[in-house]
């Protein structure tokens, strides 16, 4: 297992602060919406995509907030439900490769999880 660099950890802290500030300012709601994206929109209308080098899941014990983070050049996030969190742990964390797509606000819109057999 490789060590996570201090630079990557600092980027995560900055992304978390930015997300928290957007929520205080009336930004994205903390409840998860529909996470079944229209593939054509996410593939062709996405602001960006890339292969995730790191995956992280924030599971807050004092609320129902669950935030999935993926690092692909920078940290991107998605609010997930409790049920989605359980599925992600089994699929994404067991994958050999995870590709992510995100929108203009760095919200993850699609994750493609690869497992080499």
Closest to 55 (Cα-Cα) out of 19, 12, 16? 12
Delimit the domains of the chain by residue range: 37-114
Cα-flanking dihedrals φ and ψ of residue 102, to 5°? -140, 160
Q: Is 88 helix (H, G, I), strand (E, B) or coil?
A: helix
Q: What is the pTM of this model?
A: 0.73
Question: Could you read off the pLDDT of 1-47 as tens digits, one per residue?
Answer: 567 788 988 898 889 888 888 876 665 555 455 455 555 454 545 78
Helices (H), the chain: 6-24, 39-44, 82-91
Q: Are 84 and 113 in contact (CB under 8 A)?
A: no
């Amino acid at each position: 297992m490789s060590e996570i660099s201090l630079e990557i950890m600092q980027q995560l802290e900055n992304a978390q602060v930015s997300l928290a500030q957007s929520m205080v300012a009336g930004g994205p709601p903390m409840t998860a919406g529909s996470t079944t994206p229209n593939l054509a929109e996410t593939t062709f209308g996405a602001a960006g995509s890339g292969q995730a080098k790191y995956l992280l899941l924030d599971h807050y014990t004092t609320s129902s907030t669950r935030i999935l983070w993926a690092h692909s050049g920078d940290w991107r996030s998605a609010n997930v439900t409790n049920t989605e969190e359980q599925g992600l742990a089994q699929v994404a964390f067991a994958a050999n490769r995870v590709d992510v797509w995100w929108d203009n606000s760095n919200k993850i819109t699609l994750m493609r999880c690869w497992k080499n057999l």
